[in-house]
Amino acid sequence: MYRILLRSFILIFFSLLLINCSAESSKPIIVATSFPAASIIKELTGNNIEVKILVPAGASPHTYAPKPSDIKLSASAVAFFSIADNLDGWSKGIKTHKHFDLISFLPDSMKLYYNEDQNHNDEAISHTHNSLDPHFWFDPLAVKSLLNPLSDSLRALLPQYSETIKNNTNLFAKRLDLINKEVSELTRGLLNKPLFLQHPSFLYFAKRYRLDYLGSIEETPGKEPGPKYIANIVKKINESGASAIFTEPQLNKKVAEVIADESGVLIYELDPIGGTNSISNYSDLMLYNTKIDERNYSLCP
């Protein structure tokens, strides 16, 4: 009798497990190139949609090369979201049903462009004068400005979840206002602080919260600058009175360490991509980097 009951329990348990797995796999799939794109889409779709990310945590969307499994997954998705040609343009080589660039939903009034000061005549700099800066997600109000057209596209793709997406869009818009308010308060003491980055990925953040961005170590992600450019950055750091430079976990720190040593400044790390255990949603991404800025600037002389 005991064996019969045990066998019945095991059969019921595995039947329920199979049902749950089947229900999970039946969710529509959206593929996003990287965590910043996925984090925004997930806020709108909620748990009804499976949002898959191609670029793993710790890798750069600029330099990523898709795997065969990425191509297979993307082909089965209802939609594919990249950010912009000069961030994850490699994604245009992947066959998908519907492909969207998130930057295309951003109003022109919210877009930033790399200006002439960031355009150097040093060894193949890819961010040319007036090229669009794709890192818009570090301005919560820029993200808020693209929600309605993005929501409309998602609702057209997934009409069965139209009301949920509409409600989630409204809720996320309100949260973005709160995030902006919190970040504004945290960065109040950083007004006009000199900001040197490993790569120009926080310009939207710098403009919104009024930090003084003065230069980057790598204008082209993954490409080390030449001696002339390094000497120029060291000179700028010394003249600015900056006490720190900020690197990224997705990029090699070797040149940053040389520059920090030569200019006598400290190194701290910002994470423009996220997707780690400590950065699992959009709010985490904003506040994690804000608190690194706020804490380390206040600790520096």
Q: Find the mean pLDDT for residues 90-110.
A: 96
Q: Are 32 and 98 in contact (CB under 8 A)?
A: no
pLDDT (tens digit per residue) in 152-204: 999 999 999 999 999 999 999 999 999 999 999 999 988 889 999 999 999 99
300 against 30, higher pLDDT: 30
Q: Are 222 and 63 in contact (CB under 8 A)?
A: yes
Q: Find the mean pLDDT for residues 127-138.
A: 80
Contacts of 13 (CB under 8 A, 6+ apart): none
What pLDDT score does 298 carry? Answer: 55
Tell me what the pLDDT averaged over the chain comes to.
87
The yes-or-no verdict on residue 214 having pLDDT over 50 is yes
What pLDDT score does 220 carry? Answer: 74
What pLDDT score does 297 carry? Answer: 60
Lowest mean pLDDT among 33-47, 120-134, 249-263: 120-134
Q: Are 48 and 168 in contact (CB under 8 A)?
A: no
DSSP 80: E
Contacts of 285 (CB under 8 A, 6+ apart): 35, 36, 39, 137, 271, 274, 279
CA angle 233, 237, 241 (to 5 degrees): 170
For residue 218, name the pLDDT band (cuts at 50, 70, 90): confident
For the entire predicted model, the pTM comes to 0.85
For residue 1, name the pLDDT band (cuts at 50, 70, 90): low
For residue 28, name the pLDDT band (cuts at 50, 70, 90): very high
For residue 122, name the pLDDT band (cuts at 50, 70, 90): very low
For residue 221, name the pLDDT band (cuts at 50, 70, 90): confident
Percent of the chain, pLDDT > 70?
Answer: 84
What pLDDT score does 25 carry? Answer: 54
Q: Find the mean pLDDT for residues 241-249.
A: 94
What pLDDT score does 21 carry? Answer: 46
Q: Find the mean pLDDT for residues 143-151.
A: 98
The yes-or-no verdict on residue 3 having pLDDT over 70 is no
DSSP 103: G
- Measure the CA–CA gap between 129 and 113, rounded to whole angstroms: 8
- Measure the CA–CA gap between 142 and 159, rounded to whole angstroms: 26
